[in-house]
């Protein structure tokens, strides 16, 4: 990210928040229509820093959706309903009495789809008085810091992802139950190392939330290698941590990051609005 940190921006201010990934963008009100040059620089910052954050935004669901549409095609989040008046906005809620948070494990979103999302955009509506941060991890670095021999070992391997992997599925049970929805089995296969379609860089593309095993191997045979990758890819040196406030907006690249919402605010509500942008088939 060294070159990215020095890139000149003419229409926005970009301030990196860690050495691995993440930057705050200042000087932009995304509720208003933005010039093409501003959108282009926000997208460049997104590609440079993998996740970007904008604070002090005041957005209706329709305004959040309109902003997201400048970067991709919004899609329905699998198995969960969106807002009644804006179905492509998915509410992400933890209630005060709940002990388990939605998606509370390291993961890249919905890799159990054949075409996983390109990006996600999350907007903070109501936050606890403390806690509720989100961690992000750079999967370019996770791949690039492996030895040459280990990278060769991973070449050609295919990971199998499932929506029913136990640790991840239990983080969705309350929301599915409240919506009266059935938890369906969704399974997809993706290369363990994927090439980013815009930057050309390679990134690790397995995650503890959804990857169950390697194609052609059993779960037991896959476990030692996967366990090492799961630990390695969230090394603290590859991460950043974002502290939310009401009005904060995060926009991250699911093709080269993982994220983990920290579940440390029991007894308080946390309400977010999420837009998911459609992606392509990993290669």
Res 165: pLDDT: 87
- Phi, psi at residue 249, to the nearest 5°? -130, 130
Res 169: pLDDT: 52
| Active-site residue, from 49, 107, 190, 196 | 107
Res 3: pLDDT: 60
Is 107 a catalytic site residue? yes
pLDDT < 70 stretches in the chain? 1-6, 166-183
CA gap 229, 146 in Å, rounded: 10
Number of H helices, E strands in the chain: 8, 16
Residue 181 near residue 80 (C-beta atoms within 8 A): yes
Element (H, E) at 13: strand 13-16
Question: What secondary structure does DSSP assign to 23-54, as a single string?
Answer: EEEES--TTS---HHHHHHHHHHHHHHSEEEE
Res 7: pLDDT: 79
| Active-site residue, from 175, 190, 213, 259 | 259
Res 278: pLDDT: 98
From the list 123, 111, 138, the residue with the least C-alpha distance to 212 is: 111
Res 172: pLDDT: 52
Give domain limits for the chain.
Answer: 2-277
CA gap 192, 198 in Å, rounded: 18
| Active-site residue, from 172, 210, 273, 274 | 274
pTM for the whole structure: 0.92
Give the domain 2-277 fold.
Double-stranded beta-helix (3.60.130)
Is 97 a catalytic site residue? no
From the list 151, 135, 120, the residue with the least C-alpha distance to 21 is: 135
Is 259 a catalytic site residue? yes
Which tokens is 233 given?
């890819």
Q: Look at residue 224 and give its three-state secondary structure.
A: helix
| Active-site residue, from 48, 109, 174, 253 | 109
Is 167 a catalytic site residue? no
Res 162: pLDDT: 96
């Amino acid at each position: 990210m060294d070159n990215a940190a020095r890139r000149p921006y003419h229409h926005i201010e970009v301030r990196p928040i860690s050495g691995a990934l993440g930057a705050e963008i200042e000087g932009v009100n995304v509720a208003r229509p933005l010039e093409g040059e501003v959108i282009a620089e926000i997208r460049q910052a997104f590609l440079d820093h993998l996740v970007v954050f904008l604070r002090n935004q005041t957005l209706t669901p329709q305004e959040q959706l309109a902003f997201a549409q400048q970067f991709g095609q919004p899609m329905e989040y699998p198995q969960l309903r969106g807002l009644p008046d804006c179905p492509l906005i998915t509410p992400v809620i933890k209630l005060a009495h709940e002990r388990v948070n939605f998606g509370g494990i390291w993961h890249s979103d919905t890799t159990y789809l054949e075409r996983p999302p390109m990006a996600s955009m999350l907007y903070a509506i109501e936050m606890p008085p403390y806690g509720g941060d989100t961690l992000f991890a750079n999967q370019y670095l996770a791949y690039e810091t492996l030895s040459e021999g280990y990278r060769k070992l991973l070449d050609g391997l295919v990971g199998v992802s499932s929506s029913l992997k136990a640790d991840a599925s239990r983080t969705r049970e309350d929301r599915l139950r409240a919506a009266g929805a059935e938890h369906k089995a969704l399974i997809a296969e993706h290369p363990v190392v994927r090439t980013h379609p815009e930057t050309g860089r390679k990134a690790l593309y397995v995650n503890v939330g959804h990857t169950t095993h390697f194609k052609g191997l059993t779960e037991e045979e896959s476990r030692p290698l996967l366990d090492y990758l799961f630990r390695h890819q969230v090394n603290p040196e590859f991460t950043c941590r974002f502290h939310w406030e009401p009005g904060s907006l995060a926009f991250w690249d699911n093709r080269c990051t993982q994220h983990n919402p920290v579940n440390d605010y029991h007894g308080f509500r946390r309400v977010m609005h999420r837009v998911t942008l459609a992606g392509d088939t990993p290669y």
